[in-house]
Amino acid sequence: MSSRIEILNDGGYRSDGRRQYELRDMTFDMSEQAGADGSAIIAHGLTQVLVSVFGPREAKMRSQTLHDRAIINVEVSIAPFSTGDRRKRARGDKRILEFASMIKATFEPVVQTSLHPRSQIDIFVHVLQQDGGVLQACINATTLALANAGVPLLDFVCAVTGGVHAAAPMLDLTTLEENDLPHVTVAVMPRTGRVTLVSMETRLHVDRFEEIFRLAGQAGSVLHKEMRAAVRERTKGVVDAMGSGLRTSDFAEDAMMDDT
């Protein structure tokens, strides 16, 4: 069956003018959200996600308290105006619950929960606009929000979606591309090369999967530089506002492992 749109033209360009491996423009906003300990708004092209983090704080329910580490709670909401179908998704929607479960599973090995026993970290993910790569945007925004909240992490988590058109691998897909192509979302920890998430909702030939997997890892390193720069810029603003004599680079990496 032929595609409804021209995914890749004869010149090697996609419908939005990008090349195969070219990522969409990214913007980051780590300014404070009312009441949150840390927050971040990230946009991959037209896809936009807001994440707010509360905690670590005392666990609300004693039955859920763990004596040796913090628990992580994730809630996802999708704005009804975020997509063309205007379908309102309730908190119990299967798709929303899957997203929350994947985000929680992605960050549980990364957050140093043992440093905050008997506490909880609440992550609220709000999808504001959708145009492909929603899961990758949720994960990347969560990384920045956790860092902004001062939650200690083993590493950044950087996610990207990859797909295949004919024999051509492509990165950072739009909705039109996701609807037509087999694709996978991969989240990596760039410093160690460890993979924290592989989410594949469509069939992808094993040979193609290996190539996409490798490319996604490389793209994660590119994202890492952009996201790390955003954290440094945010921290510099905080330090300048405090009038502190602290070296910005030291303060910026406080919630992260050193680059060694």
Cβ neighbourhood burial of 249 (10 Å; 0-12, 13-18, 19+) = exposed
- For residue 168, the cross-strand partners are 165
pLDDT at 11 over 50: yes
| pLDDT tens-digit map of 35-50 | 999 999 999 999 999 9
| pLDDT tens-digit map of 161-191 | 999 988 889 999 999 999 999 999 999 999 8
| Helix (H) or strand (E) segment spanning residue 55 | strand 47-58
In this prediction, what percent of the chain has a pLDDT beyond 90?
62
Report the helix count and the strand count for the chain, using DSSP H and E: 5, 9
Closest alpha carbon to 131 in 94, 97, 90, 179: 179
Model pLDDT, residue 3? 46
CATH of span 26-252: 3.30.230.70
Asked if 122 contacts 55 with a C-beta cutoff of 8 angstroms, the reply is yes
| pLDDT tens-digit map of 62-84 | 777 888 999 999 999 999 887 66
Model pLDDT, residue 201? 77
| pLDDT tens-digit map of 86-114 | 455 555 688 899 999 999 999 999 999 99
- How does the average pLDDT of the chain come out, rounded? 87
- Considering the entire predicted model, what is its pTM? 0.89
Site of tokens 């009804």:
80
Give the domain ranges of the chain.
Answer: 26-252
Residues in the chain: 260
Q: How far apart are CA 218 and CA 148, in angstroms?
A: 25
